A and B are shown apart, each in its own frame.
Chain A
Amino acid sequence: MTDLDGRLPEILDSVAGGVTVLDRSGTLRFANDTAARLLGLGSASEVIGKSGAELTSGFELLDADGKPLPEEQLPTRRVLFGEDVAEAMVRFRRRGSTHDRFSTIRARLLRGERAEDDLVVTAFTDISSLKRSEARLRFIAEASAILGESVDYAATLSRVAEICVPQLADWCVVDVLEGTAGIHRLAVANVDPQKSALAEEMRSRWPPDLESGAIHRMLQERRPVHLADMTPDLLAAAARDDEHLALLRRIGIRSVLVVPMLARGEIVGALSLLQAESERRFGREDIELSEELGRRAGEAVDVARLLFEAREIARNRDEFLAVASHDMRTPLAAVRGYAQLGRRQIATGEPDLVKLDGWLAEIDGVVGRLDKLVGEMLDTSLIHGGRDVPLKTTRTDLRQLGEELLERLRPLSPQHRFVLDAPEQGPAGEWDPDRLERVLQNLLDNAIKFSPDGGEIRLRIGAEDEIAYAAVSDQGVGIPAAERELIFSARYRGMNAGGITGTGIGLAGSRRLVEQMGGMLTVDSRVGAGSTFSVRLPL
Chain B
Amino acid sequence: MGAQTTLREAVSLPGSELEDATHAMNAMVVEDDAALRSIYGDALREFGHEVRTARDGQAALEILDSGWTPEVVFLDLRMPGMDGWEFARRLRSKPGLDGARLVVVAAHVHIDREARELGADAWLQKPFDLARLDEQARQAR
Q: How far is the CA of A336 from the CA of B43 in the complex (A)?
A: 12
Asked whether A337 is an interface residue with its Cβ less than 8 Å from the other chain, the reply is yes
Query: Within the complex, which residue of A336, A340, A341, A500 is in contact with B78, where a contact is CB–CB below 8 Å?
Result: A500
Query: Within the complex, which residue of A332, A334, A340, A412 is in contact with B80, where a contact is CB–CB below 8 Å?
Result: A412
- List the B side residues contacting A110 at CB < 8 Å: none
In the complex, what residue of chain A is closest to B47 when comparing beta carbons? A344
- List the B side residues contacting A327 at CB < 8 Å: 107
- List the B side residues contacting A182 at CB < 8 Å: none
Which residues, 69 to 92 on B, are CB-close (under 8 Å) to A? 78, 80-81
B135 to chain A, nearest CB (A): 14
Are A330 and B43 also in contact (CB < 8 A) when A322-B109, A325-B109, A413-B81 are? no
Q: Are A330 and B46 in contact (CB under 8 A)?
A: no
Q: Are A334 and B109 in contact (CB under 8 A)?
A: no
Q: Are B80 and A413 in contact (CB under 8 A)?
A: yes
19 residue pairs A–B, Cβ–Cβ below 8 Å: A322-B109, A330-B33, A330-B36, A330-B107, A334-B35, A336-B128, A337-B36, A337-B40, A337-B43, A337-B130, A341-B46, A344-B43, A344-B46, A344-B130, A362-B35, A412-B32, A413-B80, A413-B81, A500-B78
Asked whether A366 is an interface residue with its Cβ less than 8 Å from the other chain, the reply is yes
Q: Are A326 and B108 in contact (CB under 8 A)?
A: yes
Q: How far is the CA of A500 from the CA of B42 in the complex (A)?
A: 27
- List the B side residues contacting A344 at CB < 8 Å: 43, 46, 130
Query: Within the complex, which residue of A325, A334, A412, A448 is in contact with B39, where a contact is CB–CB below 8 Å?
Result: A334
Query: Within the complex, which residue of B32, B42, B127 is in contact with A329, where a contact is CB–CB below 8 Å?
Result: B127
Are A333 and B80 also in contact (CB < 8 A) when A340-B130, A341-B39 are? no
SS of B interface (majority): loop
Q: How far is the CA of A331 from the CA of B33 in the complex (A)?
A: 9
Q: Are B107 and A333 in contact (CB under 8 A)?
A: yes
Asked whether B126 is an interface residue with its Cβ less than 8 Å from the other chain, the reply is yes
Asked whether B20 is an interface residue with its Cβ less than 8 Å from the other chain, the reply is no
Q: How far is the CA of A415 from the CA of B59 in the complex (A)?
A: 12
Query: Which interface residue of B32, B80, B125 has the most chain A CB atoms within 10 A?
Result: B80
What string of 1s and 0s marks CB contacts (under 8 Å) between A317-329 and chain B? 0000010011101
Query: Within the complex, which residue of B39, B108, B126 is in contact with A338, where a contact is CB–CB below 8 Å?
Result: B39
- List the B side residues contacting A322 at CB < 8 Å: 108-109
Which residues, 96 to 118 on B, are CB-close (under 8 Å) to A? 107-109
B116 to chain A, nearest CB (A): 18
Tally chain B residues at the interface, Cβ within 8 Å: 23
- List the A side residues contacting B127 at CB < 8 Å: 329, 332-337
In the complex, what residue of chain A is closest to B130 when comparing beta carbons? A340
Q: How far is the CA of A325 from the CA of B35 in the complex (A)?
A: 18
12 more contacts with CB within 8 A, not counting A335-B127, A411-B55, are: A330-B107, A332-B127, A334-B33, A336-B129, A337-B35, A337-B36, A337-B40, A337-B127, A340-B43, A340-B129, A341-B42, A366-B35
Are A415 and B107 also in contact (CB < 8 A) when A330-B36, A340-B129 are? no
Asked whether A414 is an interface residue with its Cβ less than 8 Å from the other chain, the reply is yes
Q: How far is the CA of A334 from the CA of B126 in the complex (A)?
A: 9
What string of 1s and 0s marks CB contacts (under 8 Å) between B12-39 and chain A? 0000000000000000000011111001
Q: Are A329 and B126 in contact (CB under 8 A)?
A: yes
Query: Within the complex, which residue of A326, A334, A336, A415 is in contact with B81, where a contact is CB–CB below 8 Å?
Result: A415
- List the B side residues contacting A325 at CB < 8 Å: 107, 109
Are A332 and B126 also in contact (CB < 8 A) when A325-B109, A337-B39, A362-B35 are? yes
In the complex, what residue of chain B is closest to A329 when comparing beta carbons? B107
In the complex, what residue of chain A is closest to B107 when comparing beta carbons? A329
- List the A side residues contacting B108 at CB < 8 Å: 322, 326
- List the B side residues contacting A413 at CB < 8 Å: 80-81
Are A333 and B81 also in contact (CB < 8 A) when A322-B109, A340-B129, A341-B42 are? no
In the complex, what residue of chain B is closest to A445 when comparing beta carbons? B80
A187 to chain B, nearest CB (A): 42
B36 to chain A, nearest CB (A): 5
Which residues, 303 to 355 on A, are CB-close (under 8 Å) to B? 322, 325-327, 329-338, 340-341, 344
- List the A side residues contacting B33 at CB < 8 Å: 330, 334
Q: How far is the CA of A341 from the CA of B129 in the complex (A)?
A: 10
- List the B side residues contacting A338 at CB < 8 Å: 35, 39
Q: How far is the CA of A31 from the CA of B125 in the complex (A)?
A: 97
Q: How far is the CA of A332 from the CA of B40 in the complex (A)?
A: 14
Q: Are B43 and A333 in contact (CB under 8 A)?
A: no
In the complex, what residue of chain B is closest to A366 when comparing beta carbons? B35
- List the B side residues contacting A414 at CB < 8 Å: 81
- List the A side residues contacting B129 at CB < 8 Å: 336, 340
In the complex, what residue of chain A is closest to B59 when comparing beta carbons? A414
- List the B side residues contacting A337 at CB < 8 Å: 35-36, 39-40, 43, 127, 130
Closest 9 CB pairs of A and B: A337-B39, A333-B127, A329-B107, A333-B126, A334-B35, A336-B127, A326-B108, A340-B130, A329-B126
Query: Which interface residue of A329, A362, A411, A413 has the most chain B CB atoms within 10 A?
Result: A329
A199 to chain B, nearest CB (A): 48
What string of 1s and 0s marks CB contacts (under 8 Å) between A344-386 and chain B? 1000000000000000001000100000000000000000000
